[in-house]
Structure 1
Amino acid sequence: MHPLFHVTIAKIHALPSKKIFKIADLIDPITWINTGGRASLGRALGNYIDHHEPNICRLGKTPNNQQLYEIVN
């Protein structure tokens, strides 16, 4: 089984020209991705991970709408 990870985002850099949110400074392999309730940010973050992080698989959401991911080696 692969370890679940919930990532606390220390910095999410918005690149307005490309409208892409880039993940930076992931604190810990076991943290939650918390997008602060901003749905558009959550979608952008999920899309970024889906397209640029092939070893990370989105599993779904927690009951309080945080994204849940798994590292796939």
Structure 2
Amino acid sequence: MAPINTDYLVTGMTCGHCVASVIEEVSLLPGVSAVTVDLVPGAASTVHVTSTTEPARPDIRAAIDEAGYQLQGTTDGAAA
């Protein structure tokens, strides 16, 4: 099965510690194999998630909330 790549827009991140917190929380979700972040302080950062099955939006939202940030949607325009 080919990996699924989904990009999420997240606001509130300003530094490397923020990035590490998001990566840690999202990596705990079932099926997630990799998480990277393109940090854009003061704007929406892109969180790239590679997984074997696409995580449910409520699970992604909960992981990002737990890290202390806000899910705004996906880069393909889907609402949060």
TM-score normalised over the length of structure 1: 0.43
Higher helix share: 2
- Does 1 or 2 have the higher relative contact order (CA < 8 Å, sep 6+)? 2
TM-score normalised over the length of structure 2: 0.40
